Every structure is written in structure tokens, then in C-alpha cells.
């Protein structure tokens, strides 16, 4: 008897693409990475060296045209996420697309529309945005603890995405197409907020403030490197988000869900592993440097579960609508950040 495997194509082989490719290729028993595509010559060379038996394309459309695939993992530049997802949807393929689906709300919504229409003819088709934290063991345990009701109703949600300080200067260039700090960083916290507080909670107000402390170039592109947001819901809950690009010790993504009779917290004491050193400076532990270190296992779980979901036709763990809603909230916060306006929403019309 042989294992049924999902025939996967991968678009984009940057940092995240490489990681997904290796996770699918070597750690996902039921996936078969058939082909990859990247417009970048070095990335193609990397694939030829590292991904034994996988065909390599410079052009995404050519890969789609020539290969007989079942699923596409999209990890290309954000600018082409939506277009590539649409092409794959049209072919009836399952799609796992890196976040965000787009930095443009209308474009993201167009993808949702296309997916909905496609479902009529391909009822088992799976399209999902890759929000890795939902696959992290700690976040999952936190979710179960909150959902158990043991600690009462969750009332206050506090979450931060804190990236390692990068003093190389290359960051500003990347930021240009990122959609801004709330779309690039906090969208993970927004996704978690929707998960923990309930996808249906309606937002009453939101606002954000921020500064440019270590990347002055961000001023010119309407972005900030440190920002704080507050969000108010109609059902009596509040949220507080913090994002920063200047965390000196490493990646520190933390979340607190404060319920009426207890609170559940994730990663309030960041640590890379179980090592601690005591020397003349005191007692010291190191932190994960990047999200890819902190969420290494979550990335593996993500592609494995997506593979299972396609093969078994089981429900998607995250709805595409929720991911688009996270984008809308992220864009609204970015608007507030740059305009200084507090955004007030009518309960009935609240789209956020």
C-alpha cells in the first residue's frame, strides 16, 4: 500500500518560501513537492541544489500550465499574492497563501469572491491565508484554556509583535510594499484577537499612535517603527496592540488574554531554548532572533495540517473571510496611525 500524497507547487523561494519548501519536502509525509517557481535566479539555483526531484520554474504561470498539481503554496512577494491566488483558484487548486493576501482591501475581497464562486464547482477546494500563530502549540493551549471557560469571559486582549532591531538599513526598502507596520506586524495580533475574542465581535472604535525611532526612512513612506493601538468592541471588550521594529534582544511576540477570573499568557518570558548562563553579568538567557525561530514548529504544523485538510476534505482551520477582516482592521489602524484620527464605527455598519 502506498501513501496518498498531495501534489504541491510552491510560488516564491524567499526566506519564507524556502522554509515552506523544506518543511513540505522533508517533513510532510503526505505532501509531494512537485514543482517550485521563482523569478529570482539564485532562488532557482537553491531549489535545484536543495529540493531533490523537484522541477524548478522561473515563471509561475508556466508552472501552472505545465504541471499537474493539486495545491499551491504562495510565498512570493506580497504584491503578487492575490493574482497568483486567483490563477490557482481558477484551476480549482487548493491554495495556502502567505499573509497578507494583499495590502489592498478591495483586491483581497476580490479573492474571497472568486473563491466563493469557485466553491460552487469545486466544493472541496481549500483556500487559506497562512496565519502561523494559530498552529503554534502554545497559542493552541492558550485558546483551549480560554475556551474552557475556567477563567471566565475574556475581556481584555493584549498582544505584541516585536521584531529584532535590524540596523543594516535594508529594512526600509522592504517596508515600502509591506502595507505598513499594522498590516505587516500586527496583523498576526489582529488575527489572534479575532480568534480569541470571537470572529463576530463588532468594533466600536479604534485608534493608533506611533513614532519613528530607528528607521527615519519610514517617515517618507508613511510608516512608523513603533506603534500602539487600542480597539473597543460593542460587546464590552477592549484590545491593546503594540508593534515594534527595535527589540534589541530578539523576537518577542507576547499575548495576554485577561478574563474575569484569570488570565492566560503566551511567551511573557521569551526564551530560545532551555539554556541559562550565569556569569559576572548575572543570569542570562537568549531569545529567538526571528519569528522563524519562535514559530519553527508552527510553520511545520501549518503545512502538515493544510495538507491533511486538502487530502481529507476537512474544514479549514481559518476562514478566508476572517483573514480579510484582519487586513481591513490592519489598514484602518494604519490609517489612524498616520492621520491621528480615532475611527468610530456604527454598530450596524461596522465592517471591521
Q: Which residues in 83-102 contact a second copy (CB under 8 A)? A: none
Single out the residue of 38, 70, 207, 307 in contact with a second copy (rule: CB under 8 A). Answer: 207
Q: How far is the CB of 114 from a second copy (least distance, A)?
A: 34
Strand partners of residue 57: 37
* CA angle 295–228–286, rounded 5-degree value: 35
Task: Look at the block and give the residue holding cell 484590545.
Answer: 239
Least gap, CB of 52 to a second copy (angstroms): 5
What secondary structure, in 3-state letters, does 31-61 show?
A: EEEEEEECCCHHHHHHHHHHCCCCEEECCHH
Work out the angle at residue 15's Cα, subtended by the Cα atoms of residues 10 and 20, and round it to the nearest 5 degrees: 40
Q: Is 148 in the site for a second copy (CB under 8 A)?
A: no
Binding to a second copy (CB under 8 A) within 326-345 occurs at: 340-342, 344
Long-range contacts, stretch 294-298, CB < 8 angstroms, 24+ apart? 294/251, 294/253, 294/267, 294/270, 295/132, 295/133, 295/136, 297/136, 297/137, 298/132, 298/133, 298/135, 298/136, 298/137, 298/139
> Locate cell 486582549: which residue?
157
Site stretch for a second copy (CB under 8 A), options 64-72, 98-106, 111-119, 146-154: 146-154
Position 2 contacts a second copy (CB under 8 A)? yes
Name 124's Cβ contacts closer than 8 Å, sequence gap at least 6. Answer: 313
- Residue 292 as a binder of a second copy (CB under 8 A): the answer is no
Q: Which of residues 11-30 bind a second copy (CB under 8 A)?
A: 25-27, 29
Site string for a second copy, 96-135 (x = CB under 8 A): ----------------------------------------
Binding segment toward a second copy, per CB under 8 A, in 57-65, 109-117, 175-183, 212-220: 212-220
Q: Enter the DSSP assignment of 206.
A: E
What sign does the dihedral 209-215-216-221 (CA atoms) show? negative
Q: How far is the CB of 296 from a second copy (least distance, A)?
A: 9
Residue 346 near a second copy by CB under 8 A: no
- Between 27 and 65, name the residue whose CB sits nearer to a second copy: 27
10 Å CB burial of residue 282 (0-12, 13-18, 19+) is exposed
Least distance in angstroms from the C-beta of 302 to a second copy: 15
Question: What part of residues 226-285 is at the interface with a second copy (CB under 8 A)?
Answer: 226-232, 236-238, 240, 242, 244, 246-250, 252, 258, 260-271, 273-285
Tell whether residue 7 is a contact of a second copy (CB under 8 A). Answer: no
Q: In whole angstroms, what is the distance from residue 327 CA to residue 43 CA? A: 29
Of residues 28 through 67, those in contact with a second copy by CB under 8 A are: 29, 52-53
> Which residues in 163-192 contact a second copy (CB under 8 A)?
165
Q: Is 201 in the site for a second copy (CB under 8 A)?
A: no
Rounded to the nearest whole angstrom, what is the least distance from the CB of residue 107 to a second copy in the complex?
Answer: 30
Question: Between 87 and 301, whose beta carbon lies closer to a second copy?
Answer: 301
The minimum distance between CB 230 and a second copy, in angstroms, equals 5
Please spell the DSSP secondary structure of 150-198, one letter per residue.
TT--EEEEEEEEEEEP--SSTHHHHHTTTT-HHHHTTHHHHHHHHHHH-
Q: How many residues bind a second copy (CB under 8 A)?
A: 81
Amino acid at each position: 500500500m502506498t501513501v496518498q500524497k498531495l501534489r504541491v507547487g510552491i510560488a516564491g523561494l524567499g526566506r519564507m518560501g524556502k522554509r515552506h519548501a523544506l518543511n513540505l519536502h522533508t517533513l510532510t509525509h503526505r505532501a509531494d513537492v512537485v514543482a517550485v517557481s521563482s523569478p529570482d535566479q539564485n532562488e532557482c539555483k537553491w531549489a535545484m541544489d536543495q529540493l531533490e526531484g523537484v522541477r524548478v520554474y522561473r515563471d509561475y504561470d508556466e508552472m501552472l500550465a505545465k504541471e499537474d498539481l493539486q495545491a499551491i503554496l504562495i510565498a512570493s512577494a506580497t504584491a503578487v499574492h492575490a493574482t497568483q491566488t486567483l490563477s490557482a483558484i481558477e484551476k480549482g487548486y487548493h491554495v495556502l497563501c502567505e499573509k497578507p493576501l494583499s495590502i489592498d482591501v478591495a483586491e483581497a475581497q476580490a479573492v474571497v469572491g472568486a473563491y466563493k464562486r469557485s466553491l460552487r464547482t469545486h466544493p472541496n477546494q481549500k483556500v487559506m491565508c497562512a496565519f502561523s500563530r494559530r498552529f503554534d502549540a502554545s497559542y493552541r493551549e492558550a485558546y483551549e484554556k480560554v475556551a474552557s471557560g475556567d477563567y471566565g469571559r475574556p475581556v481584555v486582549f493584549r498582544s505584541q509583535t516585536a521584531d529584532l532591531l535590524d540596523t543594516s538599513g535594508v529594512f526600509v526598502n522592504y517596508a515600502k510594499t509591506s502595507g505598513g507596520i499594522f498590516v505587516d506586524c500586527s496583523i498576526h495580533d489582529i488575527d489572534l484577537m479575532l480568534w480569541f475574542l470571537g470572529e463576530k465581535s463588532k468594533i466600536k472604535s479604534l485608534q493608533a499612535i506611533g513614532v519613528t525611532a530607528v528607521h527615519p526612512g519610514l517617515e517618507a513612506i508613511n510608516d512608523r517603527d513603533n506603534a500602539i493601538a487600542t480597539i473597543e468592541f460593542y460587546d464590552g471588550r477592549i484590545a491593546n496592540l503594540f508593534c515594534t521594529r527595535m527589540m534589541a534582544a530578539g523576537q518577542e511576540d507576547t499575548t495576554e488574554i485577561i478574563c474575569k477570573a484569570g488570565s492566560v499568557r503566551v511567551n511573557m518570558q521569551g526564551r530560545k531554548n532551555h539554556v541559562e548562563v550565569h556569569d559576572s553579568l548575572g543570569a542570562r538567557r537568549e531569545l529567538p532572533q526571528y519569528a522563524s525561530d519562535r514559530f519553527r514548529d508552527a510553520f511545520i504544523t501549518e503545512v502538515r495540517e493544510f495538507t491533511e485538510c486538502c487530502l481529507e476534505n476537512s474544514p479549514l482551520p481559518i476562514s478566508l473571510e476572517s483573514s480579510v477582516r484582519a487586513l481591513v482592521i490592519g489598514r484602518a489602524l494604519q490609517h489612524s496611525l498616520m492621520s491621528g484620527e480615532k475611527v468610530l464605527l456604527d454598530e450596524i455598519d461596522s465592517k471591521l
